[in-house]
Structures are given as structure tokens and as C-alpha cells.
Chains A and B, each alone.
Chain A
Amino acid sequence: MNFELLTQLIVNGLIVGLLYGVIGMCFVLVYKSTQIVNFAQGEFLLIGAWVCWASLIYLELPFFVGFLLSLCFMAAFGVLLQMVVLRPMIGEPIISVIMVTIGLSIFFQALMKWIFGISPQSYPQVFENQSINIFGLNIEMAYLMSTVIALVIMLAFYFFFKHSKHGLAMRATAFDQQVAQSLGISVKQVFAMSWGIAATVSATAGVVIGMVNGVSDSLSIMGIKVFPAVILGGLDSIVGAIVGGITIGILENVAEFFDSQYLHVGNMYDIAPFYVLLIILWFKPYGLFGTKDIERI
């Protein structure tokens, strides 16, 4: 057994898993406050990464300026999307809402392919040296940055929801929309805000992943890979999303390791999370931390 490779893979899994956790958190945030399952989450990553790339290449801005610019753009984009497309869908059956986000996902994926082409593009060099050595493990700088960013985002989420007025409003809306409305919370504003936050944070993740792998169409797959993570943790638990994300990130790397060493089935990296997803749904239909649906007649 190749322990060195295994540790390296587990560390990689942990780092990628943190990113899954961040994307999963956005997903749960939108689901909790607006009851919408966002199948277009991956496209947020994609659009964010492309906008950032375009601002660096065409406008030739320095990295952090372009990065901030694309975040502002994504915040506006998320709010606008909620106002134009998703507001009319409030109160519609769940399949319609799912299908609208799927429609958005198809549309933006095709639009991005149309505008930017299908070949992957890489960001200009941001760090001096590409990777550093920590305890004998090779870690790419971008990954290190992504870990820091992921942790900062998670902390920011924590403080936002615990200690800010808007966070409290969002929690109240998630708890009971009608009660929240009667207490003077603007539910419309909360909905728009949650989409804005989700788009911005997803775009951050998109840029970070784009720095490592290059920006391409495949970024939108992240939006689908996040499903096993959120289901594992339960759809309406933010902590669950983080735990689920890390678990899935490690799991896919470990599955890849065992596959390449012993099984030789191939493609385990992409497919193992979905097997896990099915098994979880079989035994715990509401995930590990999700609230069970109890219905009264």
C-alpha cells in the first residue's frame, strides 16, 4: 500500500472537499430561505470564473481588482436572476421550480460556450511559485489559497447568521415565511439577498477552481457533484453541507486510490459519490443532519 500517495490524495480530498462544502453551503442557503433547489449552482461558478477571466485578459486588470469586480457582478447577477426568473415561480409545485433552474443551467451553459468557446483557458500567473511543501506534502498555492478562502467564507457565514440583523432575518424567513413577514421582514429582500450571496460565494469557488484547473465548461459539473454532499448532510443543514462536502471530497479521492491500486474499474473519481448518494437515500432518506418531514393532515 502506497501510504504517501494515499495521504497526498486525502489532503487533496480535504481541500477539494472544503470547496464542495462552500458550494454546498450556498446551495443549502438558497434552499432553506427560498425553498428552491438550485440546479444552476454550477453555472454560477462558471459565469463567475469566466467574468473574472475576461476582466483579467481583456481589461488587463490586476488579479484582485478583477476578482472583486467579478464578485460585484455576480452579486448583482444573482439578485437580478431571482427578481426576473424565480420570483414568478413562488408557490409553484416543486417540479416546476426544479425545471426552471435546470432551464437556467442549460441556457447559461450554452451561452458561456457560445461566448467563450469550449477550450479551457488558464488565468495569468498569480503566485510566484506554483506549489509549496508542507510536511513533505506537495500543495499547490492556489489550493492553499482556496482553503483559506473557504475557511474565511465559512466563518463569515457563521458571523453573518449569528450576529447580524440580515442574518437573523434570513433565519427567521427560513423558519417560517408568514411569521417573518408579519414581523416586518421583507421576504422579497431576503430571497434576493440569498441568491446574491449564493452567486457571489459560488463565483469565488469558481475562480479558485479555475486557477488550478483552468476555466472551462467542466466547472459546471461542480454544481452536480455538490448534490451527493448536500444529500449526505441533509438538504437543510448548513453544518451538514460542510461535513458532507469534506466527506465526499475525501471519499472520491480514496475511491480513486483504491481503484487505481487494486480494482482497475476506472472513472471511480466521478462516479463513487453517486453510489454513496443512492446508499444514503436508501437508509437515511433525509440525510445525516436533515430534518425529517412530518406531515399533518
Chain B
Amino acid sequence: MSSLTMRPCGDFRTSYKQDNTIFETKTIRWVAILSIIALCFAPLIVDGYFITLLIQISYLGIAALGLNILVGYTGQISLGHGAFFGFGAFASAWLSTSLQIPVFLSIPLAGFFTMGVGMMFGMPAARIKGLYLAIATLAAQFIIEDFFARADWFSGGSAGSMAEPLTLFGFAFDTDQSFYYVALFALVFMFIWGCNLMRSRDGRAFIAVRDHYLSAEIMGVSLNKYRLLSFGISSFYAGIGGALYAHYLGYVSAEGFTIFMSIQFLAMIIIGGLGSIKGTLMGVIFMVFLPEALEGIVGIMKMTDWGNIPMVVDGLAYIKEMAIGLVIIGFLIFEPEGLSHRWTQIKNYWKFYPFAY
């Protein structure tokens, strides 16, 4: 990863440790740290609705990063990520209400539960790839979704289940402003973990499996182990994201975790850029703000003369869905490497400004 970007002149690396840093340059590191600090003050500056969007970005971002580890780094396909996200949500709600486990423990536990389920469905994945895997995970999506609707003891069936708010040392994180800090902490923690994973031996093994699995196997990388591990890690991330979602909303119902959600996760990582951690976040931000932007456009159109067509105003939900489909197709045709690639190009353009060719 680090070698892909342009470094300032004179910044030569002499050891592997230097070559493997999370941030390629000092500037990037300071920008990252300062932006996290700036985000900490966000509840003081922006209004409540924007905070809910930021929380949404956090939990979706965690789950999307998991999917990017699986799809972007390991080269496996999953169409069941939404179901795993839902499983994490239900598992955490179930653990905290039925078994009385404190919420700060039930969130990571839900992650591990989801990891177990993910690995169970990922088991055939160790043997198959590409297309057949896509279809196997599609089956997983439907089977898990069916399980949610049926297992009353676990998910509350069609009624859904309640999730308690997160409390830590007697302080309840039950408002948007306070939960925002939990979500931000989880996001930063999981992203740093993701970055570190990709710098480790296991991360390099994932990339080797993606780039050429036969060569990887000949080099001594165990295909079965790493494909399964990647599935497990990706479901773990989905589970954590789902658990945060459950404790944020306080209520989980089975309707949300459909195939459409899985596709939205895939759309996020494709728009952001496959195999890019920074890109994952960009994609999630794009996908969260896209419906908002459409709503804004329709709102502006309502003010003009031809905006009062009932078809447009009533069909907003469908327009949003169509926009998601169009965005996926558009990005794949015109910008297959995603926003993160475009970002690097823009940065390089300005870096070499007068001499760019």
C-alpha cells in the first residue's frame, strides 16, 4: 500500500519498519490525528441531524471495512454481508437483554458470534471461488434472513427485539451526542486494527491469495486457512457494526437486513475503491450522503414550477433505489478503481502542478 503513493523527494526508506508505517508521510499522519480531534468537537458545532449521519457512517463504515477485507484484499465475493450485519445486531441485543450481559461486553461478543456464523457459511468458500462463492453467500443471505423471521427466542420473530443502551460506569450513552463518541471510538479503533492487519503477515497473505492464488499456495500460503480467516474477520467486522447499530437505535427488526443491504455494502466498497482502507470510508460517506442529496434536490425542485409532478415527489424512495443502481453501474464503467484512486490522482496533479503531463 505504502509504495503506491508518491513520496516527497528525499524521503528514502532504509528499513522494513519505515516502509510499513500506517501513514506514508508525516503530513498524512498529522492530518489524520487532527481530523480525529476535530471530529471529537463535532457535536458542539453541527446540528443533531448531522450527528446521526456521522453515527450512521461509523457503524456502516466498520461493516464495510470488513467486506473490503474480504472482497478487496482477499478477492472473495460475499453477497451476504447484510445478513451478517443483522446477525451481529440481533446477537448483541439478545446477549444484553436475555442473558443480562453488560452491553460493552455484548458488542465484542456479538462480533465473535457473527464470526462463528460467518465461518460456518464460509466453510465451502475455502473450496470455491468467484461465481460459485457469490451464489453460496447469496444462499447464506436468504437462510440467515429466514432464521431471523423464525427464531423467536433469538430475534423476537416478526415483532423484533429491544436493545438496551450502552452504559459504562453508570453513564448511559443513550443520546445521539454521547453515542457519537462511542461510534467514533469504535470506528477509529477498528480502522487502525484493519490497517495493522494489512501490514501483518496475515494481511500480506490475503493479498497474495487475491493476486494469484496458485502462486500463493506454491509459496506456502495455506489457501483454506486464509480464505476462511478472511471470511471470519469480515463477519467479525459486520457483527461489530451491527451491534453498534442495535444499541444505537435501541430496537432491531428483521426487515432491514435484506439482500439490498448486502448490495449497498458492496456498492460502498466499489465506489470507494476495492482494496483501500481510506477508500472504504469515502465510499460509505458517499453512500450515506447520496440519499440526502437526492432528497435535497427533490426539495429544491418542489419550489420550482415543474417540481410538483406527483410522480417525482411520491417516487422519492424509488428514485433513491434507482440512483444506487445507477451509481454502481456508473462507477464500474467509468471509475472502476473508485474514489480513492481518483483522490490519489488529484493529489498527484497538484503535487506536480506546473510539470504535470
Contact = CB atoms under 8 A, between A and B. Distances in A.
The answer on A and B forming one complex is: yes
A228 to B, nearest CB: 8
B105 to A, nearest CB: 32
B351 interface: no
A106 B266 CA distance: 13
Contact of A227 (B135, B143, B270, B318): B135
A88 B150 contact: no
Nearest to A297: B214
Interface in A106-125: 106-111, 113-114
A58 B331 CA distance: 37
A37 B134 CA distance: 10
A267 interface: yes
Interface string A93-135: 0111011101111111111011000000000000000000000
A159 B41 CA distance: 71
Contacts of B77: 94-95, 98
B132 A281 contact: yes
Contacts of B124: 278, 281-282, 285
B134 A98 contact: yes
Interface string B239-280: 000000000000000000001100100110010001000000
A89 interface: yes
A161 to B, nearest CB: 23
In the complex, which of the residues A104, A224, A266, A278 has the most CB atoms of chain B within 10 Å of its own CB atom? A278
- Would you call the interface of chain A mostly helix, strand, loop, or mixed? helix
Given A103-B329, A282-B124, A295-B214, A231 B135 contact: yes
A176 interface: no
Q: Which of B77, B131, B311 has the most CB of A within 10 A?
A: B131
Interface stretch (B56-64, B189-197, B320-328): B320-328
A181 to B, nearest CB: 23
A224 B266 CA distance: 18
Interface in B8-62: none
Interface residues of A, number: 43
B322 A114 contact: yes
Contact of A99 (B128, B130, B328): B328
B150 A267 contact: yes
Contacts of B270: 96, 99
B289 interface: no
Contacts of A113: 318, 321
Nearest to A92: B336
B119 to A, nearest CB: 14
A275 interface: yes
Nearest to A271: B146
A85 B150 CA distance: 40
A139 interface: no
A235 B127 CA distance: 16
A100 B328 contact: yes
Interface in A257-297: 265-267, 270-271, 274-275, 277-278, 281-282, 285-286, 295, 297
20 contacts: A89-B332, A95-B274, A98-B131, A100-B328, A100-B329, A103-B267, A104-B329, A110-B318, A110-B322, A114-B311, A114-B322, A231-B135, A235-B132, A270-B146, A275-B143, A277-B135, A277-B139, A278-B136, A285-B128, A295-B214
Given A114-B318, A281-B136, 20 more contacts: A85-B333, A96-B270, A99-B328, A102-B266, A103-B326, A106-B328, A107-B321, A107-B325, A110-B322, A110-B325, A111-B318, A114-B311, A114-B322, A266-B150, A274-B138, A278-B136, A281-B132, A282-B123, A285-B127, A286-B132
The 3 closest A-B pairs by CB, nearest first: A107-B325, A103-B328, A106-B325
